[in-house]
Structure 1
């Protein structure tokens, strides 16, 4: 490590700032348990700009059976406010797996946001009010083996009838990759939607295995993949 820093100092004008603590709105803290990464200040800034610091927190970021469409409700008078809010929430998903699905849903209506979309975005902010410091812990004790979980709905999008794939991948107990994305094709059954979700997760697992192999962390055994079938 010292040789690498000396090599870089000889060729570039850089400074050694020590252990990483804050970078691009992301906070890092170290302990014997590992490294904790969060965006607490960034989340509080969003709440302050939205004048919701005094709002009552909600327990869930989105109602379970809420189905938003591009045509329900009246158009917003100022769509730029909605676009700016959703854009900031997208960056918050760097450390917040729990809001990936609602933020992905809200980002589909950036071109013509309506009142129900705005109300759903406010619901996400009220949820953040109760959990501003939630983040990711990268454990110091880890055997560096991959495992994954995936799931999907069936025809969840009312406009296109396409299903949504969701997965999360762990390096032992540390969450390192996650996604919530609408599937490319329409699935004709719930089983087909589940298989598409598993296929997408396998692609990510394969890519991560190659990355770990380049980092000299070979995966000897197959990675277990858990699905809700």
Structure 2
């Protein structure tokens, strides 16, 4: 740390003592969050053990929930009086501004319908298309060609990009867009593997994603109220899908009360020796996610009436989780085996088989043909609030 201008002293080695946190310093976020945590804890709020930015308070009058991101605070709950009191309490400690009902939060647009909420990033998507001059491009039906063969080392005609920063900026924006667009998660995950040395073919794949976004820039997720408190997950994996290192891709999606809440499409960190190992490693990732969700729902005051259900299309992986005899076949995945098997034996997890034709997580592991893609797409809870009543551009493409 250097002394501020105008306060330099020569021949002395002194340090500056900060009496308050200042914006721009590394310790300012920690100091801010410490002060905020103390302010809300003094009025009965408890910080979640699964998400440190979540605070809850359960009383006889109802529940109040605080979600914090830096200095943006989201307040929800069924205790109207308690919400008003916490607003007044925060206003006495900080300079706050009440923006009213939730409409826009960290780039997420929230629209209310009679039967639920719609989360989207329409403005963000339109700005992205405008920045890359793709507002008038010809749309396509799928984010990635089913026959794609992208790899880090291309042919002579597939040259390196002269401006890789442009590619990396696009990837950063597309990754942010996957917050409400699970349909592009796999495609974005594939093209993001080549940010260190992007080539012409990689940029063409990114342009295909942009043309797909042009089809429905207002596409988002719909959340409907439900009396069901069931926690359901679908797991799948693509064996040796990467042409560079032959690693597989894990894909899963979880539903609570019939609404999609989390999903992931990510390449595995190790090379698998069999398709069963791939499926089992993907299953382990999903079980970790379900364990975290159970803790998060518990902090919100939700008690699951039944164990979480995990659907998988690999009967061999399900038998390994239920049968403790397969030691010789599972030595190389022993930790994962015991982790999943323990959840099954404690009756905290129920494993069920589902045919590949009904496994919605398949859309998160590979590029599907058009017919299969549109078969799984509605099951992701996708909804376009801004779609024309006549069917829009997508229907015109299908007819042609």
1:6-27 CA-partner distances (Å, limit 9, x unpaired): 2212221101111111223221
Whether 1:47 aligns to 2:133 is: no
* Structure ID, larger Rg: 2
Whether 1:9 aligns to 2:9 is: no
2:228 is aligned to 143
1:163 is aligned to 248
1:87 to 172, 188, 194: 172
Q: The residue matched to 2:186 in structure 1 has which SS?
A: helix
User: What's the offset of the Cα at 1:155?
Assistant: 0.4
1:190 to 266, 269, 275: 275
Unpaired segments ≥5 residues, structure 1: none
1:59-81 CA-partner distances (Å, limit 9, x unpaired): 00001231211111210111111
1:176 to 261, 271, 282: 261
TM-score, with normalisation over the residues of structure 1? 0.96
How many residue pairs get matched? 229
Is the alpha carbon distance of 1:142 and 1:94 closer, same or farther for their aligned partners in structure 2, counting shifts above 3 Å? farther
Between the two structures, name the one with larger relative contact order (CA 8 Å, sep ≥ 6): 1
CA contact (8 A) 2:140 2:211 kept: yes
2:106 is aligned to 24
Distance between the aligned counterparts of 2:227 and 2:283, measured in 1?
Answer: 25
Distance between the aligned counterparts of 2:190 and 2:223, measured in 1?
Answer: 28
Is the alpha carbon distance of 1:175 and 1:142 closer, same or farther for their aligned partners in structure 2, counting shifts above 3 Å? farther
CA RMSD across the alignment? 1.1
User: What's the offset of the Cα at 1:46?
Assistant: 1.0
Distance between the aligned counterparts of 2:227 and 2:265, measured in 1?
Answer: 26
